[in-house]
């Protein structure tokens, strides 16, 4: 059995409880564009079954408002792109204002793993700007020094539960899946990681606690008190 050599982190919901800020940003974008859309928490929880912000809006548009016309006569994709840009700007402002914090135990585990020589990677379907604003505010301007590989929506367009982002992360790490652990918060993330051959630790949040986590190596409420040694023990079990 391979020894543990790398940790691969999802971002939204795993590194930080971001979804409430994302939800507020979506609604801000809709209002700024003069649309009557408003997603409440229950609706958004269901929409999180769809990975990717643009994909989420497109799914909602097609299913909830199939007869709705494009804004200003622009194409559907152009409208979605514009809404997503407004949403991203609102989310970035919220993070910079301190609306999002890392989940308990995350920063300590990252620092400990880095000090012990484990390689750290990010495998997410969120956008590069969302990753950067979150980790720059949470860790500091040198946040990239912790992560040897970052795969995101710009490099892995096939969203979770497709395993593309994890397959590409493993290829860039140059490691077999058996030498790594993935850390996720959702069933889509878990399915993507497992499909890539990865043992996976799941830390659910309020938006994903109802998901099916069959196949996870461990399901824990958060990473507070979870050490690298504990991860090694789970990995070898």
Domain at 122, CATH number: 3.40.50.1000
| 3-state helix vs strand vs coil in the chain, percent to 5 | 50, 10, 40
Residues 168 and 228 in one domain: yes
Instruction: Enter the tokens of residue 44.
Output: 């958004």
CB-based burial label for 109 (10 Å; 0-12, 13-18, 19+): buried
Q: Distance (Å, rounded) from C-alpha 87 to C-alpha 101?
A: 19
The pLDDT of residue 29 is above 60 = yes
The pLDDT of residue 72 is above 80 = no
* Residue 235 exposure: Cα atoms within 13 Å on the Cβ side: 23
Q: What is the pLDDT of residues 47-60, one digit of tens each?
A: 999 999 999 999 99
User: Is there a domain that residue 1 lies in?
Assistant: no
- pTM over cut 0.75: yes
Q: Distance (Å, rounded) from C-alpha 146 to C-alpha 149?
A: 9
Domain end marker among 67, 96, 125: 96
Residues 125 and 218 in one domain: yes
Average pLDDT over residues 183-209: 97
Lookup result for tokens 């548009």? 61
Banded pLDDT at 91 (limits 50, 70, 90): very high
Q: What is the pLDDT of residue 75?
A: 76
Residues 84 and 114 in one domain: no
Instruction: Enter the tokens of residue 96.
Output: 């910079």
How many domains are there within the chain? 2
Is residue 125 within 8 Å of residue 165, measured between CB atoms?
A: yes
Catalytic residues: 10, 12
Domain at 78, CATH number: 1.10.150.240
Q: What is the pLDDT of residue 66?
A: 79
Domain end marker among 96, 119, 136: 96
Q: Which domain holds residue 31?
A: 19-96
* Residue 128 exposure: Cα atoms within 13 Å on the Cβ side: 8
């Amino acid at each position: 059995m391979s020894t543990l050599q790398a940790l691969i982190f999802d971002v939204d919901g795993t590194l930080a409880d971001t979804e409430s800020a994302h939800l507020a940003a979506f609604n801000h974008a809709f209002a700024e564009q003069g649309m009557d859309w408003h997603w409440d928490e229950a609706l958004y929880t269901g929409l999180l079954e769809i990975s990717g912000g643009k994909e989420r809006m497109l799914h909602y548009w097609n299913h909830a408002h199939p007869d709705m016309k494009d804004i200003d006569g622009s194409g559907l994709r152009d409208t979605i792109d514009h809404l997503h840009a407004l949403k991203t700007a609102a989310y970035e402002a919220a993070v910079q204002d301190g609306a999002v914090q890392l989940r308990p135990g995350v920063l300590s585990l990252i620092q400990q793993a880095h000090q012990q020589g484990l390689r750290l990677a990010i495998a997410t379907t969120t956008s590069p700007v969302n990753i950067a604003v979150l980790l720059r505010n949470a860790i500091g301007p040198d946040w990239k020094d912790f992560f040897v590989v970052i795969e995101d929506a710009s490099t892995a367009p096939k969203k979770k539960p497709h395993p593309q982002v994890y397959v590409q992360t493993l290829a860039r790490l140059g490691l077999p899946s058996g030498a790594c652990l993935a850390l996720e918060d959702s069933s889509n993330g878990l399915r993507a990681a497992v499909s890539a051959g990865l043992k996976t630790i799941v830390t659910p949040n309020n938006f994903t606690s109802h998901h099916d986590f069959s196949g996870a190596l461990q399901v824990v409420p958060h990473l507070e008190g979870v050490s690298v040694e504990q991860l090694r023990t789970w990995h070898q079990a």
